[in-house]
Structure 1
Amino acid sequence: MILTITYTQPPATDLGYLLYKNPSRPQTFELSHGKAHIFYPEATKERCTVALILDIDPIDLARGKKGSSGEGGLFDYVNDRPYVASSFLSVAMSRVFGTAMSGKSKDRPELAAMELPLQAKITMLPCKGGEEIIHRLFEPLGYKVAVEGYMLDEKFPEWGKSKYYTVSIEGKVKLRDLLNHIYVLIPVLDTEKHYWVGEDEIDKLLQHGEGWLINHPEKGLITGRYLKRKKSLINQAFKRLVEDSGVIDEEDEPDQPSQPQETEKKLNLNQQRLGTVVAVLKSVNAKRVIDIGCGEGNLISLLLKDKEFEQITGVDVSYNVLERAKDRLKIDRLPEMKRKRINLFQGSLVYRDKRFSGYDAATVIEVIEHLDENRLKAFEKVLFKFARPQTVIVSTPNKEYNTHYSNLLEGDVRHRDHRFEWTRKEFETWAAGVAESYGYNVRFLQIGEIDDEFGSPTQMGVFTL
């Protein structure tokens, strides 16, 4: 990942004094997750550019080592973190440019306090929500913004555009402010952080957002994403932000549902969804059920309480998630009769597996949206052609209903790992095609509060042979 900053006011080499980095001497800084290299690809009186290159060690990201994401599963081995501008870069900036970010300059104090003609370029910046959000975040700060997008694969244009961009910003701004803007907005655009987000993140946000965040029209989006949409942290941040500024603005809204009624709807939605699944399973008299993509076992826990379900199997691709499911279900402490009814194993829903066969019903609840759409065909064959249970229940978010979530921008998805979200028509078209191809009938259910125009938050298809 590369960040460059260019200064164009003679003598441009004063940039070295402002950054405390000598243009004639490349430097390397050891970081917990790799190394940061600083050098100047150009240093003349008319134009001076500093480059920060972050070299992330992928080994440190795996198996719970230093800098690990802690997510487990495939993420620790197959991810973009070593190659894209992310929170790793923000941490490196604070380590390498910490003094400049505070606005101090021993040799050029007058320049540190001045607005200067500066340009910055961030190469390979992941952005959730598309190019529009980049403009919405940087342009209110006075920058001229240029964005270069990329195709997912030039050989397969039908796959569409990638989420990666090269972003260039240019303006007359204090160097301190430029650095702080980039520090905050990189993880906001990426929506990821490689470390645990706690109350200390509020201090970082307010420190680096001092003087500009309170007046930014997208302060709700910035605060919400920076704090990983943790409502308690967001509320604290907004309270402190308003107190520090001395401004009371009733229009300030964090990037989270702020009304208790809306929050309550979201909290109850999963309960309604799982309750509907259990009701459907009982209506078709299913005795042996396999939950594919079982997660931490929420549905399994409900099924275990009902003696009608004689065999309950949970499958997930993540070993760590299955271990948490075992702990949550207290399998080791269950009575022997209950313990015999449960079976958990690791597996993938896109690879044929004999262990998927022999069940009355299969449930795939809020799972398919985590697959790349080009892998759905494999999933269909695994479940509907080879495993072929009498009943299959599939649920997925209704994209149209997202308008009810105030924390989502247009084009956003409800979870950072969702590869797609479908409208009702898109889901029904897919489900009807699957049913026709594999000899099933399908009916549709709406889960959650129903909007006359946009439908319900969750849509469900019940396939029966």
Structure 2
Amino acid sequence: MRRVLLTITTTLSPATDLGFLLHKHPDRVQVFEQSFGTAHVFYPDASEGLCTAALLLDVDAVRLARTKGKSTPDFTLGQYVNDRPYAASSLLASAMAGVFRTAMRGRCDARPHLASAPIPLRLELPALPCRGGPEAARRLFEPLGWTVDARPVPLDERFADWGDSRYVALTLTGDVRLADALNHLYVLLPVLDDAKHYWIAPDEVDKLIRAGDGWLAAHPERAHVTRRYLANRRGLVRTALSRLAVADDGPEDGLERDPIDEEPPAPESTPPESVPEGTPPEPTPPEPTPPDPAVSEPAVPGATVSGPAVPEPGSPEAEPGSEPEPGTEAAAPPVPLAERRAQAVVEVLHAERAQSVIDLGCGTGKLLTRLLRDRSFQRIAGTDVSHRAMTIAARRLRPAPGDLAPRLELFQGALTYTDERFRGYDAAVLMEVVEHVDPPRLPAVERVVFGDARPRVVIVTTPNREHNVRYEGLGAGAMRHPDHRFEWTRAEFRDWAGRAAAAYGYQVRHVAVGEDDPEVGPPTQMGVFTR
């Protein structure tokens, strides 16, 4: 049996409010069974002036070996013995995800003002495997506002000439929001350890993005952190860096431009990261639906959103710009702009006699649903950089009973990298996608779509910035959604489309989608590229 120790100390007044923030009562010792051992939470000190919470993890070597899948690392004797009885590792991060999951999400109904504000904290890890030594710990934690005290642990204090071990005694102090502090540890412990003790599945990307929300995208070592956290699984690393680049409005970094690796299936036994059966569950807010690039309309004024809005089809707020003209009576409810846009895409596909179509940036699959209903499209594919979006699309678009030859293929991919799976289609659709791409990466998208995939027809739709003045609540210079990297005027879109078409041997024609306002043009502009 080996043990892992983490202590969290605060001097806020009253300090015992730490119990509310962690959702663990200072007067009790609580026990949480893990697949690889047992976690204990207790408070060595709990007074008005100082409060310390301790997470002690007993790692059961036999249980750890039994839960090891065929593709998880083989630690051999490392599973059973360790030269440091209190060594923090990725197992501690895994335990934190279950024991402190509500605190890591920043929820505290009893003390909401404390959950949302920085508080004085001291985090201590008496023995942390640290590849790169104390300097590596400083390089990762100091940009996050921590004062870092990382001291090498000697191999043996009795024999100084033996030198230092690969462990450090780490103390972090600073005024930091507790949820942020826990998420910093959750991500960076396995990075410093550089040996995840459990299976790296595709959902680890979502865990990384969720835990790194608000800090990882801007971290100067984000590529290094991402690679180590995901154990250098190239496909997963590329996906994570692409999503972080979108959050930071900067270029992707840290990867060579190779095709995305094929990910093997998950093992039958994966160590869970949740509170064990028998422990009263803590309420968990639903996860947000990932952005769907097929919807690019203004967000509701005053609302806080993290991705493109996905309103219910047909709802009044679903599509600005689709209301009838003042003074006229609508014979039927207005057709949402998203519906008009999808219909316009399908009409062009029919006019171009496309029988095979790939939706590049398909989001959760709304256009794909329409294409599947149309039997004239014999082969359909959808791809998106978001693993979660693809999961939702797969659930939405599962083959109908009796469909012996499914026409749909779904796969994860990024438009900034060449991918042979993009090739071989009559038509490619980028519906409300390009405005989510950082301008410096647009040439890469052009090369991938027009130069490498090279379908006979490419359909691109994007918002018309000039039309934004017709939307109530959009101020001067505002874009329809905060995730848009830009929005083009009609002249800017024509200029880009003309240059891309000429560079890759296409002709382009322009189609108005939605009501074509005589002063500011339509709400959506479409370019149809033909080769």
TM-score for the superposition, normalised by structure 2? 0.46
Q: Secondary structure at the match of 2:200?
A: coil
Taking a change above 3 Å as real, the CA distance of residues 92 and 67 of structure 1, as seen in their structure-2 partners, is farther
Residue correspondences, number = 256
- Say if 2:19 and 2:25, in contact at 8 Å, map to a contact too: yes
**For residue 147 of structure 1, what is the aligned residue in structure 2?**
150
Instruction: Answer yes or no: is 1:129 the counterpart of 2:116.
Output: no
Could you say which residue in structure 2 is the equivalent of 1:372?
Answer: none
Cα distance between partner residues in 2 of 1:170 and 1:90: 19
Give the Cα–Cα distance (whole angstroms) in 1 for the partners of residues 69 and 40 of structure 2: 18
Change (3 A) 1:117 1:74: closer
Deviations 1:282-311 (A, max 9, x none): xxxxxxxxxxxxxxxxxxxxxxxxxxxxxx
Distance 1:110 1:132, change over 3 A: same
Matched to 2:238, the amino acid is N
Partner letter of residue 224 of structure 2? L
| The one of 50, 54, 62 aligned to 2:53 | 50
Relative to structure 1, the CA distance from residue 72 to residue 84 in structure 2 (aligned partners, 3 Å threshold; closer, same or farther) is closer
3-state secondary structure, aligned to 1:24:
coil
- Secondary structure of 1:167's aligned partner: strand
Name the counterpart of 2:253: 253
Distance 1:246 1:122 in 2: 31
- What is the CA distance between 1:34 and its match in structure 2? 1.0
CA-CA distance at 1:189 after TM superposition: 0.2
Output the CA distance in 2 between the equivalents of 1:167 and 1:203: 27
Distance 1:220 1:89 in 2: 23
Per-residue deviation at 1:59? 1.6
- Matching of residue 15 in structure 1 with residue 27 in structure 2: no
SS in 2 for 1:55: strand
Deviation at 1:66, TM superposition (A): 5.5
- Contact (CA 8 Å) 1:38, 1:52: kept in 2 or not? yes
Unmatched 5+ residue regions in structure 1? 261-465
1:181 matches 2:184: yes
Residue of structure 2 in register with 1:223 after alignment? 226
Q: Displacement of 1:96 after TM fit?
A: 0.8
> One-letter code of the match for 1:60?
R
Map residues 185-264 of structure 1 onto 2, 5 A cutoff: 185-243=188-246, 245=247, 247-249=249-251, 252-254=252-254, 256=255, 258=256
**What amino acid does structure 2 have at the position aligned with 1:88?**
L
For 1:248, the aligned partner's letter is G
- SS of 1:213's equivalent in the other structure is coil
Distance 2:28 2:44 in 1: 11
**Whose helix fraction is larger, Structure 1's or Structure 2's?**
1
How much has 1:76 moved relative to structure 2? 3.8
**CA RMSD of superposed structures (Å):** 2.3
Preserved contact between residue 209 and residue 244 of structure 2 (Cα < 8 Å): yes
Tell whether the 8 Å contact from 1:61 to 1:67 is kept in structure 2 after alignment: no
Which string of whole-angstrom CA distances, capped at 9 and with x for unpartnered residues, describes residues 84-138 of structure 1?
Answer: 1111101111111110100000100111011111111112100111110100000
**SS of corresponding position for 2:241:** helix
Aligned match of 1:38: 41
Aligned to 1:27: 30
Mapped partners of 1:57, 1:117: distance in 2: 34
CA distance in 1, matches of 2:216, 2:144: 10
Tell me: CA distance 1:75–1:21, structure 2 relative to 1, closer, same or farther (3 Å).
Answer: closer
Whether the 8 Å contact between 1:33 and 1:66 is mirrored in structure 2 is no
Matched, 1:110 2:118: no
Map of 1:399 onto structure 2? none
Separation in 1 of the partners of 2:112 and 2:75?
47
* Aligned 8 A contact 1:3 1:122 in 2: yes
- The corresponding residue for 2:171 is 168
Task: Give the letter aligned to residue 59 of structure 2.
Answer: I
Indicate conservation of the 8 Å contact 2:29/2:42, yes or no: yes
Q: Is the 8 A contact 2:84 2:127 kept in 1?
A: no
Distance 1:123 1:87 in 2: 15
Structure 2 unaligned segments of length 5 or more: list them. Answer: 259-531
Alignment of 1:65-464 (within 5 A): 65=67, 70-71=73-74, 73-79=76-82, 83-243=86-246, 245=247, 247-249=249-251, 252-254=252-254, 256=255, 258=256
Cα distance between partner residues in 2 of 1:83 and 1:59: 18
Q: For 2:76 and 2:23, locate their aligned partners in 1 and report how far apart those are by CA, in whole Å.
A: 42
Partners of 2:184 and 2:238 in 1: CA distance: 22
Tell which deviates more after alignment, 150-159 or 26-35: 150-159
Counterpart in 2 of 1:310?
A: none
CA–CA distance in structure 2, aligned partners of residues 67 and 185 of structure 1 = 24
Q: Give distance in 1, aligned partners of 2:32 and 2:218.
A: 35
In the aligned structure 2, how far is the partner of 1:153 from the partner of 1:209? 36
Amino acid at match of 2:249: V
The 3-state SS of whatever aligns with 1:150 is: strand
Q: 1:173-230 deviations in whole A, cap 9, x for unaligned?
A: 1111000001100000000111111211111100000000011011111001001112
1:13 is paired with a residue of what secondary structure?
A: helix
More off after superposition, 110-119 vs 79-88 = 79-88
